[in-house]
């Protein structure tokens, strides 16, 4: 019996979402029983023993030349085999772009259902119950798992990484798994845009989003300046994405990304239901809008009624002076 | 080449959620059902491939009660050639059950491309596509935002954190589509008229025992009432103070 965690790596380095999953695995192991086993799919060892400090007891190192980059089919085969090998009760996978792609494949290989993008897991009754948002957070469902293992993905920034246990090393074992790499499969041939250092909306601590109130795409410079001052990621409403002002990847809402940063600043966004759904779980919401009746003020912790063309530069200035 | 596009009927994004008396499901009263927005990109891409090849057939598949035929008819109006309605009067319990029913319907079709939206905006699952691909034993790329066909290989891109992945995929394969892949068309009057004569084949399906069990559907806790800190640029000082001292987020 074991809790299995999929270690998400990028260029050999462990991503923060992996530490969050390990932290949760450690908490679950206290109730469901451990140990916490990590499966690391990689082309070469990358100091996986150090995952011990983040909560891993053991690391299964699934090595393959094809694993220098994410490999959907190969990783799924390795993770499913690892789940069987350790008799996993639960398989925890970060709900990242890779993890969301991987988890359903793992579940299908194991013949079990899964819960994606979970915001809370509870094992207090001896059985796992997952809480996850539906309709971009308009409601939450609680799910139980009649089959074993329970496969879940964990939404970034919702689970705390464990306090590091300095010096604790995980035992690293080579993990042999069967996978036919010659079978037809999707192969990653390249990755672009990585060097930008831009934090994705779903993992951002602070987001500044702009909407129709900006009146023209070039005025998004105001949003970018404020975001730069705050160290924030830029988001956008559906209206401005549909108008072609901003790329699709920046859209927050029910047909875009659901986000839960510690600070969300909505500028010139009135607050359509589908937008509110995507950002209402943010810890602190600031709204800047000239219309005091705008629905965005109903979810905002702090509102400023006024002309964003005056308020935003003043706020940017004030933030810069803090540094 | 035969292509399959799997579509789902969902409550539209303006839906205000009310939980039904059973405490586990969405109260359907006053809910408008539409084609899942991400499926629009799947339908559009299948039609573009068919047009580019000037050959083949697009088959739309949907699972659900009699009501989903409205959505299938819409997809036929957009240009799909025929439809298969996997008929079940009980709602699908989970994604694996849906993927199994779809796999059963698709495996006999010799489809070169299978398309789905990246997720449905009701359950936000994003599971059926990769599960279906796994059950069919076919390559799969999720969240495709760029697609090119070069003979029997698809060159595609998908968004990842802070960038994009480029992938090459031999056909037959399964793809789930993201916003940005294309601009979906609207149905023409001619298309709507033609759709009335196209076939929707009904096949009853048994979805089996649930693989995941929903215990409850709950509304999120209401946010504590906030406050207007002031008007105009003069409010900035107080806003910054509140963010630092009260909310402690700066």
Asked if B158 and B89 sit in the same domain, the reply is yes
Say yes or no: A36 and A102 in one domain: yes
Chain B contact present for A128, CB below 8 A: no
Instruction: List residues bridging with A192 in a β-sheet.
Output: B164
Q: Which of A174, A206, A231 is the last residue of a domain?
A: A174
Q: Are B168 and B250 in a shared domain?
A: no
- Count CA atoms closer than 13 A to A224's CA, side-chain side: 8
Suggest the residue from B104, B118, B236 to mutate for an interface test with chain A (most A CBs closer than 10 A).
B236
Q: What's the domain range around B244?
A: 223-250
Q: Quick check: B27 contacting A, CB < 8 Å?
A: no
Domain annotation covers residue B187: yes
pLDDT digits (tens, 9 = 90+) for A281-320: 999 999 999 999 999 999 999 999 999 999 999 999 999 9
Is it the case that residue A195 has pLDDT exceeding 80? no
Q: Are residues B167 and B227 in the same domain?
A: no
Task: Say how many domains are in chain B.
Answer: 2
Residues B243 and B191 in one domain: no
Quote the Cα angle for A258-A264-A270, to 5°: 80
Smallest Cβ–Cβ distance between A113 and the set B94, B137, B142 belongs to: B94
Q: Is A188 within the bounds of a domain?
A: no
Which residues 152-171 of B have a C-beta within 8 angstroms of A? 158-170
Same domain flag for A155 and A233:
no
pLDDT at A196 over 60: no
Asked whether A86 and A52 are in contact (CB, 8 A), the reply is: no
Residue A287 domain-assigned (yes or no): yes
The pLDDT tens digits of the residues spanning B139-153 come to 999 999 999 999 999
pTM of the model: 0.95
Res. A204: pLDDT tops 90: yes
| Domain region containing A222 | 198-322
In this predicted structure, what is the pLDDT of residue A284?
98
pLDDT in tens, A105-156: 999 999 999 999 999 999 998 899 999 999 999 999 999 999 999 999 999 9
Assess A124–B contact: CB distance below 8 Å, yes or no: no
Say if residue A15 is in the same domain as residue A146.
yes
CA-closest candidate to residue B156, choices A67, A190, A9, A65: A190
What's the pLDDT at A76?
98
Distances from the Cα of A65 to the Cα of A40, A76, B115, B155, angstroms: 13, 15, 30, 22
- Residue A304 and residue B230: Cβ atoms within 8 Å? yes
Q: Is residue A192 part of a domain?
A: no
> Which one-letter DSSP state was computed for residue A251?
B
pLDDT at B225 over 70: yes
Tens digit of pLDDT for each residue in B117-176? 999 999 999 999 999 999 999 999 999 999 999 999 999 999 998 889 999 999 999 999
Are A157 and A34 contained in the same domain? yes
**C-beta separation of A135 from A277 below 8 A:** yes
Token couple for B50? 């068919």
Query: Closest Cα partner for B61 from B40, B80, B33, B38?
Result: B80
CB-based contact, B38 to chain A, within 8 Å: yes
Nearest to A321 by CA among A195, A196, A230, A185: A230
Same domain, A36 and A92: yes
Contact in structure between A126 and A145 (CB atoms under 8 Å)? no
How much is the mean pLDDT over chain A? Answer: 94
Domain tally, chain A: 2
Residue B213 is assigned to a structural domain of this protein: no
Q: Mean pLDDT, to the nearest integer, of A47-66?
A: 94
pLDDT at A185 over 90: yes
3-state helix, strand, coil in chain B (%, to 5): 30, 35, 40
Within a domain: residue A193? no
Are A217 and A280 in a shared domain?
yes
Q: Give the ipTM of the model, two decimals please.
A: 0.96
Identify the pLDDT of residue A110: 98
Choose the mutation target among A74, A113, A317 for the interface with B, i.e. most B CBs under 10 Å.
A113
For A68, residues 6+ apart whose C-beta sits below 8 A from its C-beta are A42, A43
Query: What is the distance between the alpha carbons of residues B82 and B200, in angstroms, rounded to a whole number?
Result: 6
Cis peptide before A35 (omega within 30 of 0): yes
B127 and B27, same structural domain? yes
Question: pLDDT band at residue A194, thresholds of 50, 70 and 90?
Answer: low
Alpha-carbon gap, residue A148 to A3, rounded angstroms: 12
Residues of B in contact with A273 (CB under 8 A): 13-16
For residue B76, the domain's CATH number is 3.40.50.620
Q: Indicate if the pLDDT at residue A11 is higher than 80.
A: no
CB of A127 within 8 Å of any CB in chain B? no
Q: Say if residue A44 is in the same domain as residue A88.
A: yes
The CATH number linked to A37 is: 3.40.50.620
How close is the nearest chain A Cα to the Cα of B189, in Å? Answer: 24
- The predicted structure's pLDDT at residue B52: 97
Is residue B209, in this structure, part of any structural domain at all?
no
The structure tokens listed for B235 are: 């409010």
| Kind plus residue range of the DSSP H or E element containing A264 | strand A263-267
β strands within B9-93, DSSP E: 9-11, 33-35, 57-64, 82-87
Long-range contacts of A81-85 (CB under 8 A, 24+ apart): A81/A175, A81/A177, A81/A178, A81/A179, A82/A4, A82/A37, A82/A39, A82/A175, A82/A177, A83/A4, A83/A110, A83/A149, A84/A110, A85/A60, A85/A175
Chain B residue at shortest CA distance from A317:
B236
Question: B 50-69 residues with CB below 8 A of A?
Answer: none
CA atoms within 13 A on the CB side of B82: 9
Beta bridge partners of B64: B87
**Residue B210 in domain:** no
Q: How confident is the model at residue A219 (pLDDT cuts 50, 70, 90)?
A: very high
* Mean pLDDT, residues B66-82 taken together: 98
How high is the pLDDT of residue A197?
60
pLDDT tens by residue, B8-59: 999 999 999 999 999 999 999 999 999 999 999 999 999 999 999 999 999 9
pLDDT in tens, A261-287: 999 999 999 999 999 999 999 999 999
């Amino acid at each position: 019996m074991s809790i299995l965690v999929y270690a998400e790596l990028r260029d050999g380095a462990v991503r923060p979402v992996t530490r969050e999953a390990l932290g949760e695995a450690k908490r679950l192991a206290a109730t469901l029983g451990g140990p916490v086993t990590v499966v690391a799919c990689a082309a070469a060892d990358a100091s996986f023993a150090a995952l011990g400090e983040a909560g891993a007891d053991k690391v299964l190192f699934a090595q393959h030349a094809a694993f220098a980059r994410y490999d959907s089919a190969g990783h799924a085969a390795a993770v499913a085999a690892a789940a069987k090998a350790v008799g996993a009760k639960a398989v925890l996978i970060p709900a990242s772009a890779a993890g969301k792609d991987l988890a359903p494949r793992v579940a299908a290989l194991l013949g079990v259902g899964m819960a994606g993008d979970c915001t809370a897991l509870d094992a207090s009754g001896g059985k796992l119950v997952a809480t996850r948002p539906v309709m971009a957070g308009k409601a939450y469902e609680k799910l139980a798992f009649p089959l074993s293992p329970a496969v879940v993905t964990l939404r970034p920034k919702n689970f705390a990484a464990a306090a590091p246990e300095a010096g604790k090393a995980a035992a690293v074992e080579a993990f042999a798994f069967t996978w036919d790499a010659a079978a037809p499969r999707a192969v990653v041939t390249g990755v672009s845009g990585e060097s930008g250092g831009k934090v994705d909306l779903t993992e951002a601590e602070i987001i500044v989003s702009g909407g129709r109130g900006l009146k023209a795409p070039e005025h998004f410079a105001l949003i970018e300046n404020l975001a730069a001052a705050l160290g924030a990621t830029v988001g956008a409403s559906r209206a401005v994405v549909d108008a072609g002002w901003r790329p699709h990847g920046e859209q927050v809402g029910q047909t875009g990304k659901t986000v839960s940063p510690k600070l969300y600043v909505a500028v010139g966004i009135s607050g359509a239901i589908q937008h509110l759904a995507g950002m209402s779980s943010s810890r602190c919401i600031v709204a800047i809008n000239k219309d005091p009746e705008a629905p965005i003020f109903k979810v905002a912790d702090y509102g400023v009624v006024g002309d964003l063309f005056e308020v935003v530069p003043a706020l940017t200035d004030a933030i810069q002076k803090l540094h | 080449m035969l292509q399959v596009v799997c579509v789902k009927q969902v409550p539209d994004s303006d839906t205000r959620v009310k939980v039904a008396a059973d405490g586990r499901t969405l109260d359907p009263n006053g809910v408008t059902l539409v084609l899942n927005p991400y499926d629009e990109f799947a339908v559009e891409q299948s039609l573009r491939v068919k047009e580019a090849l000037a050959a083949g057939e697009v088959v739309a598949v949907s699972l659900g009660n009699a009501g989903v035929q409205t959505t299938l008819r819409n997809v036929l109006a957009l240009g799909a050639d025929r439809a298969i309605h996997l008929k079940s009067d009980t709602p699908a319990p989970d994604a694996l059950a849906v993927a199994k029913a779809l796999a059963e319907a698709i495996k006999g079709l010799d489809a070169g491309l299978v398309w789905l939206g990246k997720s449905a905006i009701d359950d936000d699952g994003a599971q059926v596509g990769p599960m279906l691909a796994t059950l069919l034993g076919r390559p799969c790329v999720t969240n495709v935002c760029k697609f090119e066909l070069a003979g029997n290989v698809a060159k595609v891109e998908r968004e990842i954190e802070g960038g994009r992945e480029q992938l090459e995929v031999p056909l037959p394969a399964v793809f789930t589509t993201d916003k940005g892949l294309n601009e979906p068309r609207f149905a023409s009057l001619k298309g709507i008229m033609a759709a009335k004569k196209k076939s929707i084949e009904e096949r009853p399906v048994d979805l089996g025992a649930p693989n995941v069990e929903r215990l409850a559907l709950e509304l999120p806790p209401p946010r504590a009432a906030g406050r207007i800190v002031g008007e105009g640029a003069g409010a900035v000082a107080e806003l910054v103070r509140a963010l630092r001292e009260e909310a402690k987020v700066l």
